[in-house]
Amino acid sequence: MGIASIDASNAVKDATLLSKLFLKVIEWVRVSNVVHMVTDNGENYKAVGGLANATYKSINWSPCSAHCLNLILSEISKMNHVHELAIKTSTVTKYIYNRSWLLAWLRKKKSWTEIVHPGATRFATTFLALHSIHEHMHDLQALVTSKEFASSRFAKENKGKNAIDIILDKLFWKDCFIIVKIVKPLMRLLRIVDGDEKPSMGYVYEGMYRAIKGITDIFKRNKRLYRPYTTIIKTRWDNQLQKNIHAAAYWLNPTFQYDKASFCKKPEAMNNVLDVIETKATSSKTKLMNELRLFRDRQDSSGKELAFTISKKTQPDEW
């Protein structure tokens, strides 16, 4: 049985119309078949999610994880020093790709791969470009310090001097490396949540905490240095993504539950799981609590190696 398509073009910006539309779909699917509802991050869609959750207590709502991560990357890319790095990266890339002789020289390198160009629309491409050009650091430096380049007209043209200065600037490469390292866990998480092949619910909770911890470690816990980045992440996380459903999926994943280095032992994680049971459970809460204890302590079927093996097979490849 299928459902007829609905022209919702007039309802996109109207929370009231959107709410009626979504509630109709929930009723058609049947409330008992709906566990988690994911929408866009716009205020109108948040209103829809809130209404659906208020109307049907068993339904969980959260905004799109991929969209939230893209917004985090967008805000980081707008930081002055990151924006300047992107401009310098673009300057070098354009300089190389607008001169066929330079590009031909580089392409003779056995390990050469094409440099990623900074994108104007997708936020992640800025960081892909920074990572790409950092990977080419030695080849680019070898080019501008080679005898062939030094004796060519390219070494004497005014337009290329800026690009050459950037390529030979140690601070530029150091800053590129730091930014790439900062966003690496966020980029990995974005690939996971943006894919459809394997479930990623619990990995959002783990990934956000891993990203924050990684940034504080990079700056050796110097608040003045790491706080500008962690504030961006925490603001989006606290206001949009930190939902109990993510914490519950994380806590119930054997990969994390039986990993001594995980965050499952944090009171916050367990409190979120208990809150899900308290507000969403339709069966015996006492029975559920007993099953959680058995799962946590690896008793009965929860302790079998098969449960852990199945979890390993379903975790995203990038993890």
* 29 and 129, same domain (yes or no): no
* Of the listed ranges 17-31, 102-116, 172-186, 270-284, the one predicted with least confidence: 270-284
Size of the chain, expressed as the number of residues it contains:
319
Range of 162's domain? Answer: 65-242
- Rounded distance between C-alpha atoms, residue 136 and residue 112, angstroms: 8
> Could you give the number of structural domains in the chain?
3
Residue 175 falls inside a structural domain: yes
* 148 and 54, same domain (yes or no): no
* 58 and 84, same domain (yes or no): no
**289 has a pLDDT exceeding 80:** yes
* 99 and 199, same domain (yes or no): yes
Residue 222 falls inside a structural domain: yes
Tokens (6 digits) for 295:
């799962």
* 47 and 70, same domain (yes or no): no
* Residue 264 contacts residue 272 (beta carbons within 8 Å): no
The domain boundary, picked from 198, 215, 242, lies at 242
pTM of the model: 0.79
Residue 6 falls inside a structural domain: no
* 205 and 84, same domain (yes or no): yes
Q: Which pLDDT does position 226 carry in this prediction?
A: 95
Q: Which pLDDT does position 10 carry in this prediction?
A: 59
Q: Which pLDDT does position 119 carry in this prediction?
A: 56
* 71 and 189, same domain (yes or no): yes
More confident residue, 41 or 215: 215
Residue 3 falls inside a structural domain: no
Residue 10 falls inside a structural domain: no
The domain boundary, picked from 242, 265, 281, lies at 242
**150 has a pLDDT exceeding 60:** yes
The domain boundary, picked from 196, 222, 242, lies at 242
- Rounded distance between C-alpha atoms, residue 63 and residue 38, angstroms: 5
Residue 28 falls inside a structural domain: yes
* 91 and 207, same domain (yes or no): yes
* 33 and 104, same domain (yes or no): no
**314 has a pLDDT exceeding 50:** no
Mean of the pLDDT values across residues 260-269?
A: 81
The full 3-state SS of 70-133, as one line of letters, equals HHHHHHHHCCHHHHHHHHHHHHHHHHHHCCHHHHHHHHCCCCCCCCCCCCCCCHHHHHHHHHHH
* 152 and 276, same domain (yes or no): no
Mean of the pLDDT values across residues 94-114?
A: 90
Q: Which pLDDT does position 301 carry in this prediction?
A: 56
Residue 267 falls inside a structural domain: yes
Residue 4 falls inside a structural domain: no
Confidence bin at 139 (pLDDT 50/70/90) = very high
* 286 and 304, same domain (yes or no): yes
* 233 and 130, same domain (yes or no): yes
Mean of the pLDDT values across residues 78-94?
A: 94
* Residue 180 contacts residue 73 (beta carbons within 8 Å): no
